[in-house]
Amino acid sequence: MPAVGDVAWRLSSTDAEDSEYFDDTWERFLKTIDIAQVRALVLGNGAYGIDCSADEAVRKLVAASDRLTGLKALYLADVTAEECELSWMEQGDVTPVLTAYPRLRELAVRGSTSGLEEDGTGLRLTPLRHEHLRVLRLENGGLPGEVARAVAASDLPALEHLDLWLGQDYYGCTTTLTDLAPVLDGDRLPALRRLGLQNSERQDEIAAAVAGAPVVARLTALHLGLGILSDAGATALLGGQPLTHLDELDLRHHFVSDLMMERVREALEPSGVRVNLDKLDAVDESWGRYTAVGE
């Protein structure tokens, strides 16, 4: 086997509908290697998926926190669409994970919900202070506004990279620009350098808000792709504050015209900005415009 700390350890089960399979996998993991040396951990099928309890996965992680003392990076729910559609995947309260691992540097959470359900299920986060978190990624087909507000209200002095997939109203997105205002205003997240507000039905509105957002002046990378960005959003970006200081502008998966793509490249690439304008492989016009991830 490789040196424990040199790799990311991915734990998954062949049967996501029987949690006992993952229980066995988890126990074998705890007993087989020196988990104090584990630096990166990925939980996949079986911990998350159809009929799996996200709260149980969190309980396992919290219970093992006194042994997983070297953990720096954690990815909750590396599950493919073939295993479970994003909108079917239950997530829960991820606050206990951040509390149990105060030295965690990276947390990625995949899971789409319809918001806070009456039974208390769904992706949740309570505003908190975390001294060491550098990367936070929430991959959703529909991001609840409660979660976006909790992120904006948290005290994360080391956070350098924030990536939020907002998704579609149909799949539970209730996040508004007002919810994101503390991030865009630059009042929070003093170390932020890479910002992603992606996969949105309102990508043009987001682009317009970002065009005048104070936080952009200190960013090195801006990701506004995966949504339904059109010429209107691209025009707003070019008409706002200068973006020539960026190292990277990622707009992939968009509905921008060829002419406007050329305008974006001409405005930014001579200054050294890496611009990603990769389009969809194929567009079925009868579907209209759609985000990269919904269901």
The first and second tokens of residue 170, run together, are 């149909």
Both ends of the chain: CA-CA distance in Å?
A: 37
What's residue 115's pLDDT? Answer: 44
Residue in 3, 63, 90 with CA at minimum distance from that of residue 39: 3
What's residue 116's pLDDT? Answer: 41
Length of the chain measured in residues:
295
Residue 19 pLDDT greater than 60, yes or no: no
Region 80-101: what's the mean pLDDT? 86
d(CA 122, CA 87): 11
Tell me what the pLDDT averaged over the chain comes to: 90
Residue in 138, 204, 151, 144 with CA at minimum distance from that of residue 181: 151
- Taking the CB of residue 7, how many other CB atoms lie within 10 A of it? 12
Residue 10 pLDDT greater than 70, yes or no: yes
Q: What is the pLDDT of residues 219-275, one digit of tens each?
A: 999 999 999 999 999 999 999 999 999 999 999 999 999 999 999 999 999 999 999
Residue in 137, 74, 77 with CA at minimum distance from that of residue 111: 77
What's residue 279's pLDDT? Answer: 85
What's residue 111's pLDDT? Answer: 84
The DSSP letter of residue 9 is E
Q: What is the pLDDT of residues 28-53, one digit of tens each?
A: 999 999 999 999 999 988 878 777 78
In the block, tokens 């389009």 appear at: 279
Residue 119 pLDDT greater than 60, yes or no: no
pTM greater than 0.85 (yes/no)? yes
What's residue 284's pLDDT? Answer: 58
Q: pLDDT over 90 for what percent of the chain?
A: 72
What's residue 104's pLDDT? Answer: 98
Asked whether 254 and 283 are in contact (CB, 8 A), the reply is no
